[in-house]
Amino acid sequence: MSIEENSNEGKFSRSLNPMSSSDGVVAAGMLSGVKAAAITAIPTAGISYYLHKTSAFFRKSTSVSSRTALLVMPPLFVFALRSELEIISLKRKEARAIMFENSATDSEKNKKTHNPEAATPERVQELTDEYLQNFGSPARIKPQMQVYHHFSNIIAGHPFKILGLVTVPTVAYIGFNQATNQHKDALKLSQKIMHTRVYGQFGTLLLLGVFMSWKISHDTYGDFISVEDAEWELSESAKQGRRFKEKIEREWVKKNVKENAIKQRLKMEAEERVRKEKRDAMQVALKSREEAASATVTATAPK
């Protein structure tokens, strides 16, 4: 959830639109990652260029694709790592501010936690429908959160981080197997590196498909959330909804007053134009009659 400063209450409150702060956090994380990747790319490119010019073993052991990978992968890895760490840091700061603000609300939420009536199936279904209506996104509300629920939320929330944690040891194992397998002694080092890269890419893409499918599933059906957390978020949403509605009503009144004033002014201008056109038409008609009368008098006058 995002954080905005409430001038009336003098403290932080949850924003009605969670994406507003999320977009800012992601943008800050991406910017930090780009800076780190640029800093990493400079020595990486320098070292690769130096080895390419001075080391015959390096040129013999690597191909064009592997040299390109050596240039691209370190900055890409640093970008992903730095962006993720920056986003986590900003989100933790945001969470600490929210926890500080809602310390009084937490005590009420803890009371609801020990309320056995809050976990009935009817109550869970009611909260699920209310959550979808208020936030526009589904949620799988559970009376009791288990370990696998938290694990599923972590995978859906950080698919690329989990992908990195899984693929790095996987690719390392593939490389170790290529280097130590006795049946592959006849292969050159460049061929072993190529096999490691191909198998590693296949495994990475396969795991990426699994984790992204997991994330799509959570986006479609919602994250797992406990009953007390759902009640707390809905109560905060109701407060913000009332404030937002009051703000919209005030803006609507101001807008209507302004629009009515503009419409009244345009109406008066239109009426004035109509009156002016009528006066002009009457003057033209009067002038025409005068000219016709003058012409008649001239025609009938004795010569």
The structural domains of the chain, with segments of one domain joined by +, span 1-101
Highest mean pLDDT among 92-96, 119-123, 141-145, 200-204: 200-204
HSE-CB at 271 with a 13 A cutoff on CA atoms is 6
> What's the pLDDT band for 68 if we cut at 50, 70, 90?
confident
* Amino acid 16: pLDDT: 40
CA gap 146, 277 in Å, rounded? 80
Structure tokens at 203: 């495994």
* Amino acid 35: pLDDT: 92
Burial classification of residue 175, based on how many CB atoms lie within 10 Å of its CB (0-12 exposed, 13-18 middle, 19 or more buried):
middle
Least-confidence region, from 37-41, 186-190, 275-279: 186-190
Per residue in 177-228, pLDDT tens? Answer: 888 876 666 778 888 888 888 999 999 999 999 999 999 999 888 888 888 8
pTM: 0.44
Contact 192, 179 (CB under 8 A): yes
pLDDT over 80 (residue 293): no
* Amino acid 15: pLDDT: 43
> What's the pLDDT band for 2 if we cut at 50, 70, 90?
very low
pLDDT over 60 (residue 104): no
Only one residue has tokens 């499918």, namely 213
pLDDT over 70 (residue 99): no
Only one residue has tokens 């989100």, namely 91
Q: Please give, one letter per residue, the 3-state secondary structure of the chain.
A: CCEEEECCCCEEEECCCHHHHHHHHHHHHHHHHHHHHHHHHHHHHHHHHHHHHHCHHHHHHCCHHHHHHHHHHHHHHHHHHHHHHHHHHHHHHHHHHHHHHCHHHHHHHHHHHCCHHHHCHHHHHHHHHHHHHHHCCCCEEECCCCHHHHHHHHHHHCHHHHHHHHHHHHHHHHHHHHHHCHHHCCCCHHHHHHHHHHHHHHHHHHHHHHHHHHHHHHHHHCCEEEHHHHHHHHHHHHHHHHHHHHHHHHHHHHHHHHHHHHHHHHHHHHHHHHHHHHHHHHHHHHHHHHHHHHHHHHHHCCC
Q: Which residues contact 261 (CB under 8 A, 6 or more apart)?
A: none
CA gap 15, 275 in Å, rounded? 54
**What is the chain's mean pLDDT, rounded?**
79
HSE-CB at 115 with a 13 A cutoff on CA atoms is 12
Structure tokens at 50: 């130096």
* Amino acid 116: pLDDT: 44
CA gap 175, 193 in Å, rounded? 7
* Amino acid 79: pLDDT: 92
Contact 74, 39 (CB under 8 A): no
* Amino acid 195: pLDDT: 86
* Amino acid 204: pLDDT: 92
Q: Which of 302, 291, 143 is nearest to 230 (CA)?
A: 143
| Average pLDDT value for residue range 152-173 | 90
Only one residue has tokens 């994406």, namely 19
Only one residue has tokens 């990195």, namely 164
> What's the pLDDT band for 88 if we cut at 50, 70, 90?
confident
Q: What are phi and psi of 62, to 5 degrees?
A: -120, 150
